[in-house]
Structure 1
């Protein structure tokens, strides 16, 4: 199985909707479908990782997304985020939530499926989508990404790690990541990668943004984040992006948080992480 799959937008009027992190915010996910229409063969979606953890309705989110993937396997796309991993799920709530609502065996099944999620998606050979970002070293090609063995927990370094964990920075070059893993990459890094791989721009998620999205690196690096009022405390908007087959120029759509049942974020998280949220 290839790590990079191709979405072919053949008809110029076709569009695909790209959503960023949803992080267990099930009622905000339903609101996306209310605003933008349910997934279908004529209304394709790409969800760019971090479906679970933090929000306390992660089971509902992931089962909904998996159901649409089963219904529309060629028109509904899911990429792996850094939170579709065992160590994150143990700390930030998904493992505890699955065990509370189902069983430990059920969590192992989710873990197995997460390991098979693609790490990146290339749209019309022009736009590369991944959860985190670009790489700690120059010279990485799309063919290199296709060769990654993805059926595993991610390593602490290398291209698989970077796809899940890296972040853009405004200054040229690279720097140590504030996250303690992978790197931060500048506009020159983005430009070289795009030029080498004959791409127009990249779309990534991974970071909360006040407006739900952010355009950086002279329009070549776009962040989209789809969990509004993140963790019930950030006050940010959510956003999703439309890309149309005619020119793939991004169209941004913002939305605000909707009410949810009175279950606080991180309700199922590791005890130490819950204390950190107080």
Structure 2
């Protein structure tokens, strides 16, 4: 009821000013006593990302000037992408797809320990649900975004059903961002999550999506490319099903246990 009331009195999406456009991180001063990772100029380097990850590992925070810089640069990169991104992996090269990280920063470090850091020679696709549930969602998302800024082709990011305002309110990300950074960052992340692509196709063969398939037959890749994704996920339709649907053991289609999207069998 509280959320519905807030929604009723809020400004409609179309009239809202982008919070990203109102931020100039260059004007934010870094106090002399700050000892954490620093970005020199506008370029996010591997040294910076390594230092930031080491700080996060020791549960230190990143200065909000650099956090703003990373998130705003990532937003620019993501905005330019289509809703369905094609990835080309040359013969003999490796490519790693990772499922939900859900705020487990130490698990993310473990993945990098076992499989190497993201780079052009060792690219990754993180397939949504970076945040919520775990206690280190902010550290996870800043690390993934920093790698994206460092080398856009080293890491691909897809939207999950948890990259949305309603989920972040309930499952912890919003509260975590508010306590570690500020209210402005809550709004900024919500904006940037709306820029994340919805699906990827690897070498014209492998379709990678956070949720699953559709309630209707005959959906083409061109239909997914045509989705205007720059919004909160709707409660039905292709974008909703891409984020929410699940496979089921039986054939055909069935209702989703989640109450959104659907369950689909091997024949679908």
The size of the alignment, in residue pairs, is: 188
Query: Of the candidates 201, 218, 233, which is equivalent to residue 154 of structure 1?
Result: 233
Specify the structure having the higher radius of gyration (Cα): 2
User: How many Å apart are 1:168 and its aligned residue?
Assistant: 0.5
Matched with 2:17 is none
How far apart are the structure 2 equivalents of 1:144 and 1:158? Answer: 11
1:137 to 206, 210, 216: 216
Task: Indicate the structure whose relative CO is greater, using CA pairs within 8 Å and at least 6 residues apart.
Answer: 1
Runs of 4+ in 1 over 4 A off after TM superposition: none
Corresponding residue to 2:250 among 167, 171, 186: 171
TM-score (norm. length: structure 1) = 0.67
Per the normalisation by structure 2, the TM-score is 0.69
Residue 174 of structure 2 aligns to a residue whose secondary structure is helix
Trace 1:263-278 onto structure 2 (pairs within 5 A): none
Pairing 1:29–2:120 present: no
Alpha-carbon distance in structure 2 between the residues aligned to 1:6 and 1:112: 23
Task: Determine the C-alpha separation between the residues in 1 that align with 2:196 and 2:224.
Answer: 13
Which residue in 2 is equivalent to 1:6?
Answer: 86
Deviation digits for residues 158-186 of structure 1, max 9, x if unmatched? 11000000000111111110000110001
Query: In proportion to residue count, which structure has more strand?
Result: 1
Partner of 1:95 in structure 2?
A: 174
Q: Deviations over 1:222-250 (max 9, x none)?
A: xxxxxxxxxxxxxxxxxxxxxxxxxxxxx
Q: Which runs of 5+ in 1 are unaligned?
A: 190-278
- What residue ranges of structure 2 are gaps of 5+ in the alignment? 1-80
More helix by share: 2
Q: Deviations over 1:177-220 (max 9, x none)?
A: 0000110001111xxxxxxxxxxxxxxxxxxxxxxxxxxxxxxx
State the distance in 1 between where 2:246 and 2:196 align: 20
Residue 103 of structure 2 contacts residue 133 of structure 2 at CA under 8 Å; is this kept in 1?
Answer: yes
Q: How well do the aligned residues superpose, as a CA RMSD in angstroms?
A: 0.7
